[in-house]
């Protein structure tokens, strides 16, 4: 019997439900004195830069 291939996880905020992202952003905003929108924007920017860094690292290693 062949093994099932695991599905790739899409990069970015799509791996997390929208409700979970808002809850995490609300917590982060309270701790850092930001609005929820500012916290969400920072989280998305950080996630985007992380995926871009991984892509750049993959190009360098080949």
pLDDT tens for each residue of 1-55: 667 777 665 555 456 688 888 899 999 999 999 999 999 999 888 887 766 666 6
pLDDT at position 13? 47
Q: Are 35 and 28 in contact (CB under 8 A)?
A: no
| The dihedral sign for the CA sequence 28, 31, 36, 41 | negative
Query: Does residue 17 sit in helix, strand or coil?
Result: coil
Q: Are 43 and 13 in contact (CB under 8 A)?
A: yes
Burial 41-60 (b: 16+ CB within 10 A, else e): eebeeebeeeeeeeeeeeee
């Amino acid at each position: 019997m062949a093994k099932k291939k695991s599905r790739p996880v899409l990069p970015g905020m799509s791996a997390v439900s929208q409700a979970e992202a808002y809850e995490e952003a609300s917590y982060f905003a309270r701790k850092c004195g930001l609005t929820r929108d500012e916290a969400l924007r920072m989280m998305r920017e950080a996630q985007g830069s992380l995926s871009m860094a991984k892509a750049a690292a993959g190009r360098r290693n080949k």
